[in-house]
Structure formats: C-alpha cells, structure tokens
Structure 1
Amino acid sequence: METTRHFTATTYIVNDGATALHAHERLGIRLPPGGHVDRDELPHEAALREVREETGLDAELVAEDPGIEGPQGHSLPQPAHLMLHDINVHEDGSVGHQHIDHCYFARVDGREIDPDGHDERGADAWDWYAPADLRAADLDADVVELGIEAIEAVGEA
C-alpha cells in the first residue's frame, strides 16, 4: 500500500509565558494552530497564515534564518523541528497518510482569540497553557514538550 504524504506547518504561539492550544474536533486532542502548506506557499508562510486564520492573531516567528544568499537562492526561516505524523494507520499497521510537519515557535502580542478564517473553531475552543499547566494537563507528550520548549525559546529571544 502506498503512503501519501503532505507538508504541514504548525506554530506554537506564545504570549506572556503561555502557549495556546485548541480542542481539535476530529482528532479529539488539543493542538496548536496548524494545517497544510498550500500550493505555491512556503512552510513559514503557511505557519503564519494558519495562526491568523485559526486565532486572528498576528504572529512573529522566532526562527533562525542562516542568511545564506546565492545567485539563485536564499535560506528560509528554520522550523524548530521537523516531525513526521502518521495520520491514517490501518489495522494491519500500514500507514496510508502522513504529515511532514514544519513546527515553528512564535510570539503574539495578545491572547484575544478571534478566528479570521472560514469554518474555524471559536474562541471557546482555545486555552492558554503555562509550563505547569502543560505538565498537569492530559495532553500528548509531544505537545507538552514542544509547548514548553516554545515558551522557553520565545522568552529567550
């Protein structure tokens, strides 16, 4: 069976020592803003677009840009992590669909969630988590680890 892979971008947004997570309706877990990279869109552009659509907030990526320039190319903001997520796992263990996720960290100036995209979850689906809240919540381990790392990275930037 062939595995289909799509590129995605996820952004842990941080304000005043906390990161925002929403209740993902289909997956039944809490996640930061993110989604598929559209055709002709770069991963860091998708990351910022998804934040804007899902939260209504304007984000500033905290991402290293090596600043390498060439005659026909230049470097892009580096994601904090590249993750491979199995999305559609069959009973026999084969994987039908995966996401190659560019995971970014970003700062936002406020916490007022007001989604700007169509068909987005409302503000009541979102909560802000400080590191202690992340550790105490019933969240996937990677979400806790990446959320804490994002809070620390934004605090140091």
Structure 2
Amino acid sequence: METTRHFTSTVYIVNDGATALHDHKHLDMWLPPGGHIDRDELPHEAAIREVKEETGLDVTLLAERTGASSLTVEPLPEPAHLQLADVNVFAEHVGHQHIDFVYFGSVEHRDITPEDGEIETWHWFTKAELREDGDRLEPDVIVHGIEAIDAVEAAQ
C-alpha cells in the first residue's frame, strides 16, 4: 500500500517559562499549534500562520538563517527539528505521514483566542508539568517542549 505524505509546520510557543499545548480532538493527544503547509507557503510562513489561526497569538520564531546565499539562493529560517510523524497507522502499513518542520517561538502573552473558530482545550505546561505528565503526553512533545522553553529563556 502507498503511504501519503504531507508537509507540516509545528511551533512550540513559549511565554513565561511554559509552552502551550492543546488537546487535539481528532488525534486524541496533546500537541502544539501547527498544520499543513499550503502550496504557496514556505515552512516558516506556515508556522506563523498556524499559530495565529489556532491561538490568535503573534509568534516570533527562534530560527536562524544560515548557509550560503546568492542571487538565486536564500537561506530559510531553520527549524529546531525536522521529523517524520505517523498519522494513520494500520496493522500492515502506515497510511499517512507528516514531514514536520518543528519550530520554537515566543509570544507576548498567554491569552489564547483562536482565529479559526476552533474551540479546543489549551494548557500552558511548565517544564515540571511536561515531565510529570508522561502518561498523557507523547515523549517527543515532552522533549521538544522542554527544549523550546530552554531555547526561549536562553534567547531573552
């Protein structure tokens, strides 16, 4: 069977030593804001758009532009991680995967008011809460959430 793959962008947003995760109603797991990259978007643009749509917040990405440039080449803001996530898993195969550009970013406040109209449960997790909630959080979410908090704190 064929596996369908889509490109996505995810952002661990941080404010005052915590990162915001939502209880994703379709996947039944706690995740940071993110979603599919549109045809006309670059990964970092999709990351910023998804944060705005899902939380109403303006994010400042911690993403350096490194590498060579020329008249025809421009380095893009680099994600903190690039990962492959299985979305639909069946006994014999993986039906759908996301190639996910994972960014870290800071926001000015914690008032979440989604622009997309989706009402979901959001919680700001501190590093201690991320560590303590290992039974309901995926291991990568815990690790990336802690890394994001540390990165934002180091950048301030």
| Bucket of the pairwise TM-score, normalised by the shorter protein | over 0.9
CA distance in 1, matches of 2:86, 2:148: 23
Equivalents in 1 of 2:142, 2:42: separation in Å? 26
Structure 2 CA distance, aligned partners of 1:5 and 1:153? Answer: 29
Shift of 1:68: 3.4
Alignment match of 1:131 (pick from 127, 130, 135)? 127
- SS of the residue corresponding to residue 91 of structure 1 reads coil
Give the whole-Å Cα distance in 2 for the aligned partners of 1:9 and 1:40. 14
Partner of 2:99 in structure 1? 100
- Runs (4+) of structure 1 exceeding 3 A deviation are none
SS at match of 1:103: strand
| Secondary structure of the corresponding residue to residue 30 of structure 1 | strand
Mapping 1:23-62, distance limit 5 Å: 23-62=23-62
Contact 1:54 1:121 (C-alpha < 8 Å) held by counterparts: no
Matched, 1:111 2:86: no
Structure 1 unaligned blocks of 5 or more: none
Tell me what 1:140 maps to: 138
Whether the aligned pair in 2 keeps the contact of 1:18 and 1:130 (CA below 8 Å) is yes
Alpha-carbon distance between aligned partners in 1 of 2:83 and 2:119, rounded to the nearest angstrom: 24
Q: Unpaired segments of 5 or more residues in structure 2?
A: none
CA displacement 1:10-30 (0-9 Å, x = unmatched): 000000110000000011110
Cα deviation for residue 67 of structure 1 reads 6.0
Distance in 2 of aligned mates of 1:90 and 1:101? 20
Question: Alpha carbon RMSD of aligned pairs, Å?
Answer: 1.0
How many residues align structurally?
153
Structure 2: distance between partners of 1:121 and 1:101: 24
Amino acid at match of 1:101: D
Specify the alignment match of 2:71 in structure 1. Answer: 71
- Please name the residue that 1:91 is paired with: 91
Within 5 A, what are the aligned runs for 1:10-29? 10-29=10-29
SS in 1 for 2:63: coil
